[in-house]
Structure 1
Amino acid sequence: MRVLFMGTPDIAVPTLETLLASKHQVIGVVTQPDKPKGRGKAVSYPVVKEIALKHDLPVYQPAKVREEAFVEKVKELNPDVIVVIAFGQIIPKDILEIPRYGCINIHASLLPKYRGAAPIQWAVIDGEEKTGLTTMYMEEGLDTGDMLLKKEVAIAPDETGGSLHDKLASLGGELILETLEKAENGTLVRIKQDDAQSNYAKMLSKTMGHIDFSKPAIEIERLIRGLNPWPSAYTSLDGKTLKIWNVDVLEEEREGEVGEIIEVTKHSVIVKTGMGALTLKEVQLEGKKRMDIEAFLRGYEIHTGTILK
């Protein structure tokens, strides 16, 4: 097939590389425009663009894919199929109707659950036991098209948003090749989504990471894992931001106020929560490196009775 690929971040890279190594012909790559990054505001390419350039592929970066000039360019390219993964823009009907085999999206959840921008992280935060990838025909709604194939992944007890992202990214290529093969031989089965089973996985923000210690310890622990590595979970210690990267849950009830450091040893710091407590295992104080709690305690004195806010 003549494949037009649309994707932008890291999760899209393994799928693009798999397509490039397959029998299919990738005729071009569509990704988001370059953006200034870092303090120096140097222009940064999307990672998908970097891969495309290494393979001498045409790269298209429309500010809006619904622009007439870009729609005409897609018609001119005449793709058999458009493969989309984490592209970052809503694709209009004018483009959806161009390819012979349609536009096929790889979505990082077991649809209809977790439609939206951050399905990977919310699966961890909500304590799901499994998630996966779904290929689907795209329509004008947000992740509402007919489902095609799925691949399940178990969520480990210590899973982070980052580790789950990498697991799912590695499976995208395999799933899209299977989907394209079935499309070619006419054996794809379209399954309507049940809207009643849908959850909206809203976009992540830095403010989401501010820990509310009045919540149960188990919920806070899942939040910490789900927001690792970005935007990360944090609190305030002595007026400085303290990022918390890893904790253990203590289910037994302990005396103290919510957010209070109730025990400090050479090897641990225990914080009271709304239900149970948390043992801090890995932290990062503002302006410092990320480190395990023992290393942190060797360089920073913490007292019981301190309230994390």
Structure 2
Amino acid sequence: MKIVFMGTPDFAVPCLRTLAESGHEIAAVFTQPDKPKGRGYKLIPTPVKAAAEEYGIPVYQPLSLRKGDDAEEAMKTLRDIAPELIVVTAYGQILPKEVLELPKHGCVNIHASLLPKYRGAAPINWVILNGEKETGVTSMQMSEGLDTGDMLIKKSTEIGENETYEELYARLSDMGGEVLAETIKAIESGDLHPEVQDDSLSCYSPMIRKEMSALDFSKSAADIHNTIRGVTGFAMLEGKRLKVFRSELSDKKYPNAENGAVVDTKSFAVKCGDGGAVIFREVQPEGKKRMNTEDFLRGKKLTEGEILS
């Protein structure tokens, strides 16, 4: 098949590699424009663009597929290529109806959740924030709605009790490539069995906001733990910002301690609103590097009862 791939972040790279090594003709890659980074604001290619260049695949980076000169030029390019299939993984743009209807086999999206749950932009964060025990990857036939198309192939996985967003992101990224390979094989063999999504079972995963990382110690230990795992937490310790990247739940209860109080100076356990405690395992003090708690405590003496806000 002649295929066009659309994707942008490193999450999408395993899917592109799956296609590039599948024997199919990958006629083009569409990705978001390069963005300036660092002190010199040097333009950095997207991870998908960098991977496409490894394989010598032509890359297009329109600002929009829906309006303006860029959209018209992109549409002309797609018509000239005449792909039989378009594969989309975390592209970052909404495809217009004209693009969705162009390929013979339509447009297939690889989405990092078990649809219809967690439609939207940040499903990996939200399954952790909500304390889900299971998630996965779904391929779907794209429609004009937001992640509402017919489901094609699903693959599920358990979420570890202490697994972080970064760890789950990497696992689901690889799983996306596996689901895509199965989907392509089923398209070729004519063995696809699309399943309509039950909208009554759906939920939405909106974009993550920076303020969501603030740790509110009046909440339960599980909520604090899930915030740290899902978006990276932060609190104020002695007037300075402390980021928390990894944590565990304590098996002890501290009913008489104040919320936010350090209740164990050796493990860095902090009391939460339900009487439980969360143990910080990896932190980054303001102005310093990310480190495990053991290294942090070698240079910082905590006082039992001191409060994190």
Which of 170, 175, 182 is residue 174 of structure 2 equivalent to?
Answer: 170
Matches of 1:242 and 1:150 in 2, distance apart? 39
Matches of 2:200 and 2:285 in 1, distance apart? 43
SS in 2 for 1:170: helix
Answer yes or no: is the 8 Å Cα contact 1:223–1:233 preserved in 2.
yes
Matches of 1:171 and 1:145 in 2, distance apart? 20
CA deviation after TM superposition for structure 1 residue 299, in Å: 1.1
Matches of 2:63 and 2:186 in 1, distance apart? 33
Task: Name stretches of at least 5 consecutive residues in structure 2 with no aligned partner.
Answer: none
Verify: 1:207 aligned to 2:207, yes or no: no
Answer yes or no: is the 8 Å Cα contact 2:263–2:305 preserved in 1.
yes
CA deviation after TM superposition for structure 1 residue 173, in Å: 2.1
Q: Normalising by the residue count of structure 1, what TM-score does the alignment of the two structures yield?
A: 0.95
Residue deviations 1:246-301 (CA, integer Å, cap 9, x gap): 2222252332211122332xx32221110111222221101112222222122123
Verify: 1:34 aligned to 2:34, yes or no: yes
Which aligned pairs between 1:1-309 and structure 2 lie closer than 5 A?
Answer: 1-66=1-66, 67-227=71-231, 232-251=232-251, 252-264=253-265, 267-275=266-274, 276-309=276-309
Residue deviations 1:140-186 (CA, integer Å, cap 9, x gap): 11101111110111111221111111111112222212212222232
Residue deviations 1:128-151 (CA, integer Å, cap 9, x gap): 111111010111111011111101
Matches of 2:294 and 2:57 in 1, distance apart? 50
CA deviation after TM superposition for structure 1 residue 238, in Å: 1.3
Paired letter, 1:278: V
Answer yes or no: is the 8 Å Cα contact 1:19–1:26 preserved in 2.
yes
Paired letter, 2:207: M
Answer yes or no: is the 8 Å Cα contact 1:11–1:166 preserved in 2.
yes
Compared CA separation, residues 270 and 171, structure 1 to 2 (3 A): closer
Residues paired across the two proteins, number: 303
Residue deviations 1:36-85 (CA, integer Å, cap 9, x gap): 11232111110100111122111000000122221121111100000000
Residue deviations 1:196-248 (CA, integer Å, cap 9, x gap): 11111111122111111110001111111112xxxx21001111110112222
Answer yes or no: is the 8 Å Cα contact 2:12–2:173 preserved in 1.
yes
SS in 2 for 1:151: strand
Paired letter, 1:269: F
Matches of 1:171 and 1:263 in 2, distance apart? 39
SS in 2 for 1:171: helix
Q: Normalising by the residue count of structure 2, what TM-score does the alignment of the two structures yield?
A: 0.95
Paired letter, 2:239: G
Matches of 1:160 and 1:203 in 2, distance apart? 18
Matches of 2:158 and 2:140 in 1, distance apart? 21
Moved over 6 A (4+): none
Answer yes or no: is the 8 Å Cα contact 1:254–1:277 preserved in 2.
no
Task: Name stretches of at least 5 consecutive residues in structure 1 with no aligned partner.
Answer: none
SS in 1 for 2:200: helix
Matches of 1:259 and 1:177 in 2, distance apart? 48
Answer yes or no: is the 8 Å Cα contact 2:162–2:248 preserved in 1.
no
CA deviation after TM superposition for structure 1 residue 13, in Å: 0.5
Answer yes or no: is the 8 Å Cα contact 1:146–1:190 preserved in 2.
yes
